[in-house]
Amino acid sequence: MGKLEELIEAASEAIINSTLTLALTGAGISVESGIPDFRSAGGLWSKFDPAEYATIEAFRSDPEKVWKMLTEMDKVVSAARPNPAHIALGELERMGYLHYIITQNIDNLHQEGGSRNVIEYHGNSSTLSCLWCGKNYRASDKRDTIPPRCDCGKILKPDVVFFGEPIPADALNRSFQLASSAQVLMVIGTSAVVSPANTIPTIAKQNRAKIIEINMERTHLSDTITDIFLQGKAGEIVPALVQAVKRKGGGSPLM
């Protein structure tokens, strides 16, 4: 058995013996679905200055301009499909071994992959709201007009958190509460440097959770609080981890 296989076995043991397991996910888990990290060389911020296009002030003052960026974002996100990592996490939840996902992503791929208990820090681009009258729409129903308009005539905003908007309080409170009692935290596809999501691993570790990190490269977590570092693509490692849990745990968790 190779080193990675041994680490996967150890991680699966930790998950099987945990009564509260969380996953913290970032852009890296969706790269294999064709969504580049917004901060990467080919990402959204290399084409659109976020200070100019991605603030709530920019949207309120010139929503038509901001929709130039949002149209680009929507093209990429709406074409993406859940990859094996999203699907495996959905399966792990159905098996009873994964209890919540805390995600920084806005792409709805966890839900499409079968996960139900998803806490979203930055909202979800699959729905739109009117800031003026409060009406809500599915983004897919409004793709024929750009920018999409509400029945009241105003331009709609995607339900994502723009710069200058607060992280939803219920998402923050719930995630901190869960992290403080988790026994296992999987950190997948994120370097955990963006606040406030970067505090979740520390809170979990302080409460003696085992930290399982799945990333392509080592991060600041790897040498500080990570217990098991699984290096590689999430789309390969997460399914292998779920298979190991299946082999060992059967299909139902310890109560």
- Residues labelled catalytic: 122
CB 82 within 8 A of CB 33: yes
CB-based contacts of 185, cutoff 8 Å, min separation 6:
21, 22, 23, 24, 179, 200, 201, 204, 205, 209, 210, 211, 212
Nearest to 180 by CA among 20, 25, 13, 26: 20
Q: How many residues does the chain have?
A: 255
Other CB atoms closer than 10 Å to residue 148's CB: what's the count?
Answer: 21
Which regions of the chain does DSSP assign to beta strands (E)?
21-25, 100-103, 118-120, 123-129, 136-138, 157-160, 184-188, 210-215, 228-231
CB 110 within 8 A of CB 25: yes
